Amino acid sequence: MSKGVLKTKDGLIERGKGMFSPREINSRIVELGRRISLDLEGQLSLVEVVFIVILKGGARFAFSLFNNLYIPFNYDFVRIQEKGIDKHFRSLGIAKLIYYNLKKRHINNKLVILLDDICDSGATFITLKRQIKEDFKPVDIKTCSLIWRNYKAKIKPDWFGLELCTTDFLFGFGMGLEEEGRYLNTIYKVVQ
Q: pTM for the complete prediction?
A: 0.84
Q: Give tens-digit pLDDT for 85-111.
A: 555 445 555 555 555 677 878 889 999
| Within a domain: 83 | yes
Cis ω before 142 (30° cut-off from 0)? no
SS3 47: coil
Q: Give tens-digit pLDDT for 20-37.
A: 899 999 999 999 999 999
Helix (H) or strand (E) holding 99: strand 91-100
Structure confidence at residue 9 (pLDDT): 46
Beta bridge partners of 141: 112
Structure confidence at residue 13 (pLDDT): 38
DSSP string of 69-83, one letter each residue: --S--EEEEEEEEEE
Cβ atoms of 53 and 63 within 8 Å: the answer is no
Cβ atoms of 123 and 154 within 8 Å: the answer is yes
SS3 24: helix
| Within a domain: 136 | yes
CATH number, domain of 83, equals 3.40.50.2020
Give the Cβ contact number of residue 185 at 10 Å: 13
Q: How far is CA 35 from CA 47, 56, 128, in A?
A: 18, 24, 23
Report the distance separating Cα 112 and Cα 92, nearest Å: 26
Report the distance separating Cα 22 and Cα 129, nearest Å: 30
How many structural domains comprise the chain? 1
Structure confidence at residue 95 (pLDDT): 56
pLDDT of 182 > 80? The answer is: yes
| Within a domain: 1 | no
Report for 61-75, 95-109, 115-129: range of highest mean pLDDT: 61-75
Beta bridge partners of 147: 118, 162
| Within a domain: 3 | no
**Which residue type sits at 172?**
G
Report the distance separating Cα 142 and Cα 102, nearest Å: 17
pLDDT of 12 > 60? The answer is: no
Structure confidence at residue 80 (pLDDT): 77
pLDDT of 141 > 90? The answer is: yes
Work out the average pLDDT over 135-151.
Answer: 92
Phi-psi region of 93 (alpha: psi -120 to 50; beta: other; left: phi over 0): left
Work out the average pLDDT over 179-184.
Answer: 82
| Within a domain: 34 | yes
| Higher pLDDT, residue 3 or 53 | 53
Position 14 confidence tier, pLDDT thresholds 50, 70, 90: low
| Within a domain: 2 | no
pLDDT of 8 > 60? The answer is: no
Structure confidence at residue 10 (pLDDT): 36
| Within a domain: 11 | no
Q: Mean pLDDT over all residues of the chain? A: 82
Domain, as residue range, for 93:
20-39+47-167
| Within a domain: 189 | no
Report the distance separating Cα 82 and Cα 61, nearest Å: 18
